[in-house]
Amino acid sequence: LLAAVSGKPVPADRLAELARLSFVLSTATGFRLHDVARHHLVADFRRRDPSGFERVRRRAVDFLLQRLDTAPRSQRHGIAATLLNVCADALPSAATYADLSISGNLVVQMANERYLPGIQRLLRGAGTQPILFDNPESYPRLMNRIVAEAPEWCRIVFDSEGQVVGFFVAVLLYRDSIALIEDIEPDAVRLHLPEEYDHFARLSADEADTYLAVMVAAEENHPEYRGGELMGVIIRDGLARLGDGTRAILRTNRSDLEELLRMLGFTRYYPPESEEAKADPRRSRFQLDLRHGRFGPWVLSLLEAMARKPAPTRPVREFTVDDVRALLTDAHDADAWAASPVPRSVGIPAEELRAKVKHFLSGREPCPPPLTEYDAELLYKTYWRRIAADAVAAELHISRATYYRHLRRATERLQQALAGIAE
């Protein structure tokens, strides 16, 4: 991959040098960057050389698509997940539901019974699910069965502390999987998918090619990640499952999710024709069909759509997270704020901007999105009140390492919030 992206062979001694860098991790298949380093290096590359960045990305995408075409089915999910990570900023998002461009130290993996308590806790607090059961107790019962008998259908998200903060259950439809669901809730799949039910019920596991979204949940009040960021990671991982040449069917009545699905290329699944069918919430279904080699063209279409987006009508001078961090470090220095590029970029006089930032960090004004109240508290205690890191961590009941992770995320969100004001 390194040779394909750089356009030339990489000597062994350069690989050895790479392995010695503090922000590079060795893996079973090569190397990966620490998330913080990757975030800053990618942002810097894109800012310095936008066309060069796109050329390198396209080489990486072409290489990964070739590997996806020749890989065994068991490896395609991982390759597809890497592809979507490379193209994350080209994926559409819905501000009120999911941010698919999120990057960070979240881990997504297959469920196992050890994590059932955390999964069930999230399930109890979740709202309406993609599949509608008449009996609310059917959801936890089905979850227990799936984690015990088919854990590959349940993907769980962990935060930096190893806590379960989200999950997504998508069932591959075939004879035995339908029997498992309908053993818990009779006729559930038939009522949701009457058009193809008989076809699905005849298939063996090897013949199955369609996933049905069944259950999903994400932590709403996590100190490090917003619910929309967690949901974005969940959806991106779910889309990566389609890299093995499959189709997804999802039911929803949420208008914001419907809009996101359409932007991702989903279409109506057998649009209801009768008034009775239109009134049935189980029939509000969408599908993304990436069977028969369509996954690669779908990824490329997202990149092309991003490339076609019109340039901003007025130039806005960019400012970086480092610029914002410098302002926070000099929170009490009016001259430093006057010399910073941030007030000019935002379009607010330096002293007025300093007062405004202080007001929403101290809780006097609502936080502009995506900044959260927790982020504001952390930044205010660290920079305005100048409380030592150990003391802030103790007040918030977090470790020192977690404190620094949260502080980095809060500073990034403040930069995004100020950039939003500039726009």
Task: Please tell me the distance from the alpha carbon of residue 142 to that of residue 156, in angstroms, as a whole number.
Answer: 16
Which secondary-structure segment (H or E) carries 218?
A: strand 210-218
49 or 223, which is more confident? 49
Q: Report the pLDDT value the prediction gives residue 260, as an integer from 0 to 100.
A: 94
Query: Which pLDDT belongs to residue 396?
Result: 87
Tell whether the model's pLDDT for residue 346 goes beyond 50.
yes
| Rounded alpha-carbon distances, angstroms, from residue 213 to 227, 243, 248, 265 | 19, 16, 7, 16
- Helix intervals (H) in 127-247: 138-149, 175-184, 188-192, 197-202, 227-241
User: What angle do helix axes 73-86 and 50-70 make, rounded to 10 degrees?
Assistant: 170
pLDDT at 422: 67
Q: What is the mean pLDDT of residues 109-130?
A: 96
Percent of the chain surpassing pLDDT 90: 57
pLDDT in tens, 184-205: 999 999 999 999 999 999 999 9
- Assess whether pLDDT exceeds 70 at residue 414: yes
First vs last Cα of the chain: how many Å apart? 37
Backbone angles phi, psi at 392, to 5 degrees: -65, -45
Of the two residues 36 and 209, the one the predictor is more confident about is 209
- Nearest CA to 189 out of 204, 205, 172, 206 is that of 172
Is CATH 3.40.630.30 the classification given to domain 98-292?
A: yes
Top mean-pLDDT range of 68-82, 204-218, 382-396: 204-218
Rounded to the nearest integer, the mean pLDDT of the chain is: 89
Q: Tokens standing for 311?
A: 């340039």
The domain limits of the chain are 1-97+293-313, 98-292, 321-422
- Rounded CA gap, 204 and 177, in Å? 10
Amino acid at 118: G
Q: Which two tokens stand for residue 140?
A: 């936890």
pLDDT tens-digit profile of 250-281? 999 999 999 999 999 999 999 888 888 888 89
**Separation of alpha carbons 33 and 35, rounded Å:** 6
C-beta of residue 379 within 8 angstroms of C-beta of residue 414: yes
Tell me the per-residue pLDDT of 301-343, one tens digit each, with 9 for 90 and over: 998 888 776 544 444 457 889 999 999 999 988 889 988 999 9
Strands 247-251 and 210-218: parallel
Supply the pLDDT for residue 312: 46
pTM across the whole model: 0.76
Contact present, 71 and 79 (Cβ < 8 Å): yes
Indicate the DSSP class of residue 205. Answer: G
- Per-residue pLDDT, 32: 75
Are 132 and 150 in contact, with CB atoms under 8 Å apart?
Answer: no
State residue 317's pLDDT score.
54
Burial degree of 46 (CB within 10 A; 0-12, 13-18, 19+): middle
C-alpha span between 120 and 35 (Å, rounded): 29
Mean pLDDT of all residues in 56-77: 92
